[in-house]
Amino acid sequence: ATGAPAAAAPAPPEAAPAPAVEEEGSFSEVRALLAAHKETVLSSRIQGTITSIAVTHGASFAKDKVLVSFDRDEQTARLAMAESELAAARETHQAKLRMQGLQQASEVEVALAASAVSKAQAQINLYRAQIEQCAIKAPFKGRVVKLEAKPFQTVQPGQPLLEIVAAGPLVVRLNAPAAWLQWVKPGTLFWFRIDETGKRHQAEVTALNGRVDAVSQTVEIEGRLLAETPALLPGMSGTALFRQPAR
């Protein structure tokens, strides 16, 4: 006789459902912006003609890289002239000292000669500083976001040349209702959903402004993404999703 068919193996238990942390309905939302942790506009410190710009839109650069170079022929010529004047002033000063030893020059003449030496040295320091300003170096490692000048363009002191942002982790900036200060603290976790990519990234609060805006009744909050994501760029915006604690 054939035996009874073997009993079917019991089906494995279904996995427990994951916590509903992804349900957006359980979050409070506020608009937020990605920003670089450092950014600046490099401006010309002298009046001069640009000879070269070593970077283009979106280009990356290392710290201390020369980004913009100026023609320095005029400053170099002035430096050579000041060095000649310094040599002459030193000779005059030494001659006055010798004449003073022979009682043929007064203390006032010696002091004036020494002052001429100091003045010539100060002119040399000035022209050397101007020559250094003919090369604008990167203050930090980063990327170019805007070019505001062109090679062979003559610019004035203070004229913007490049807008740059620092490489490294991006920060999340947002203005939240002031009432959130009851439960948002440094270290509070939240999600940041980016409009441009449609993806969400976990972040944490790193700083809160020490003052509430009296008109809008909001407080500025700054956070950081917990995972490094090189594809993200400063200026991207989205929605910060905060889970309020149960009362």
Contacts of 60-65 with CB under 8 Å at 24 or more apart are 60/141, 60/142, 60/143, 60/167, 61/138, 61/141, 61/142, 61/143, 61/144, 61/164, 62/138, 62/141, 63/138, 63/139, 63/140, 63/141, 64/137, 64/138, 65/137, 65/138
Distance between CA atoms of residues 225 and 201, nearest Å:
7
What pLDDT score does 4 carry? 47
Measured between alpha carbons, how far is residue 73 from residues 83, 120, 179 in Å?
Answer: 15, 20, 61
- CA angle, 126 then 128 then 130, to 5°: 70
Q: What is the pLDDT of residues 99-119, one digit of tens each?
A: 888 888 888 888 999 999 999
Mean pLDDT of 119-136: 94
How is residue 130 annotated by DSSP?
Answer: H
pTM: 0.70
Q: Which residues of 105-136 are buried (b: 16+ CB within 10 A; e: fewer)?
A: beeebbeebbebbeebbebbeebeebbebbeb
Q: What percent of the chain has pLDDT over 70?
A: 89
Model confidence band, residue 247 (pLDDT cutoffs 50, 70, 90): low
Across 2-134, where does the E strand assignment appear? 28-36, 39-43, 48-53, 60-61, 66-70
Q: Report the mean per-residue pLDDT for the chain.
A: 87
- The one-letter amino acid code at 12 reads P
